[in-house]
Amino acid sequence: MIPDLWYKNAIIYSLSLDSFLDADGDGVGDFRGAMRRLDYLQGLGVSAVWLAPFQPSPRRDHGYDVADYYGVDPRYGSFGDFVEFVNACRQRGMRVIMDLVLNHCSDQHPWFRAALEDPDSKYRDYFIWADEKPEDAHEGVVFPGVQESTWTFSPEVGAWYFHRFFEFQPDLNIANPAVQAEILKIVGFWLQLGVSGFRMDAVPFLIAADGINVSNPEPAYDLLRNIRAMAQWRKGDAVLLAEANIQPSEAIEYFGEDGDRLHMVFNFPVNQTLFYALATGDAAPLKDALRTGPDLPETAQWANFLRNHDELDLGRLSEAQRACVFEQFGPDPDMQIYDRGIRRRLAPMLDAERTRMELAYSLMLTLPGTPVLRYGDEIGMGDDLTRPERDAVRTPMQWSDGPNGGFSLSPEPCNPPISTGPYGFEKVNVAKQRSDRDSFLNWTERSIRLRKELPEVGRGRCTVLDSPDTTLALRFDWEGLGSIFIHNLAEEAAEFSLNCLEEPPNDGDLVCLQTNARSKADANGHYHFSLEPLGYRWFRFGGLDELIQPPGVQH
């Protein structure tokens, strides 16, 4: 067990090296460029940097087609640059989490090339083969409309190989003990070089005991326990964060009943109902998702997010709910993708309306768990729908109104930034917002700083309080600290009372952390609130006065 559970009161910032900052002018972002912006991230309040894949790759899928698990892609720099980056983060009190893509590799990986060339190679069994194309080859595709099959014929082998994702990403045969041994070796290798954990890609597919069963695969959860054991043996504070779009009822299997598997899992059910609430003003499904979540082991944690590098996946909403979200945030078919999601950034979905953006971020920062931010969302970056599929939300960071938005001095960057329209770098950039005390960037920085002063949100017990369906009210309690957060999802003002259910800590007064105003309970123990349309308030019992903390409690 990690003694301080550092990840429970952390702020995680997700970035792609190729789109962050280009230091050598070749048109591709790199480690040296990212190092130049570490003080920016530290000032924003970031605790851990999550790096998208940076290992050697043909980059047909943004590096998720890994060609060497033990390397650094030269376009990003050298091993020396990587280690220097990790050390520079550590000097600023930040940790590094890297993407761990183990369900599949590139068809250019030496393992797969050897499997194709030599029938007696041990690497033939690193992958999954069939002499004839299975009848269900069209089922279980991850990218409907783009991907047609989960099996592709190899002329070199004279057989079909299995791939959950694109045909150039053959699945590894996780059932092979030699593959599992390689996985543990990869984990140990990068921990030895200084990373503090991994964002594990496509975990439900990774642990499928029978990889080719696409309709009802049996999970091999013990693999998660083995990876956890290796990670924490090699580095005691290492953290495993899983991308797993699972039902809440499955969560305990991923965390382990004793908390001996994964540390963190992205909370996809809450994310999807959150966007339904933002689209309709109806918070009831979001409350249900929060109430029906399982009691987690002490070491387990949800990771909350608004947008990431993929589409906004709405696949677990009902058809009617999904239609509502599509209508509000992605009405044009070109804004939709894979029959389940929206390929837009947060700001365009919310029409860059400040009240809606603040409401969304306030919700994300105060949900039970750890917040994860996507690069550029702190300034309200837009998307480029002229680009294919998920590329729309992977445009370069906009630092200034200079050439290429300050991203690169190359006359032809490999990934051109948005340069026109309301989200072009001339209008939306870090430099401009830094100089504006009321900018969204400065609001985000202040909100993150305040959130980090409230450890009960990340570590405490969360209670969903009874409130009108258009509102969400959460109470958190931990080690004598208590907070209440209220949000109004409706476009009309809301007035309501809350019964806080338990004896409030300290003097019982709620202090608004935005206004410093005090709220007292009435004779029946109810607190009365009034919220403007799309409004929010953060309260703490007794405020932020350090004198109210019991001895020995640390943030």
Active site residues: 201, 243
- Taking a C-beta distance cutoff of 8 angstroms, is the pair 522, 499 a contact? no
3 state SS of 341: strand
Look up tokens 């208590």; give the residue.
482
Q: Which residues contact 60 (CB under 8 A, 6 or more apart)?
A: 106, 166, 168
Neighbouring CB atoms inside 10 A of 157's CB total 16
Measure the CA–CA gap between 16 and 28, rounded to whole angstroms: 11
Which phi and psi (to 5°) does residue 505 adopt? -70, 165
Amino acid type, 353: E
- E strand or H helix that includes residue 527: strand 526-531
Measure the CA–CA gap between 428 and 400, rounded to whole angstroms: 8
Measure the CA–CA gap between 308 and 370, rounded to whole angstroms: 15
**CA angle at 274 for the pair 272 and 280, rounded to the nearest 5°:** 105
State both tokens at 511: 């202090």
State both tokens at 254: 């991923």
Q: Which residues contact 444 (CB under 8 A, 6 or more apart)?
A: 44, 361, 378
Measure the CA–CA gap between 56 and 411, rounded to whole angstroms: 25
Measure the CA–CA gap between 84 and 77, rounded to whole angstroms: 11
Edge to edge, the sheet with strand 129-130 lists 129-130, 159-162, 151-154
Strand partners, 511: 518, 540
Neighbouring CB atoms inside 10 A of 343's CB total 22
Measure the CA–CA gap between 69 and 427, rounded to whole angstroms: 39
Choose among 343, 362, 359, 353: nearest CA to 281. Answer: 359
- Radius of gyration of the CA atoms of the chain, in A: 24
Measure the CA–CA gap between 82 and 49, rounded to whole angstroms: 13
* 201, 396, 47, 96 alpha-carbon torsion, rounded to 10°: 50
SS3 labels along 19-43:
HCCCCCCCCCCCHHHHHCCHHHHHH
Measure the CA–CA gap between 245 and 41, rounded to whole angstroms: 28
In this structure, the chain runs to a length of 555
Measure the CA–CA gap between 434 and 418, rounded to whole angstroms: 20
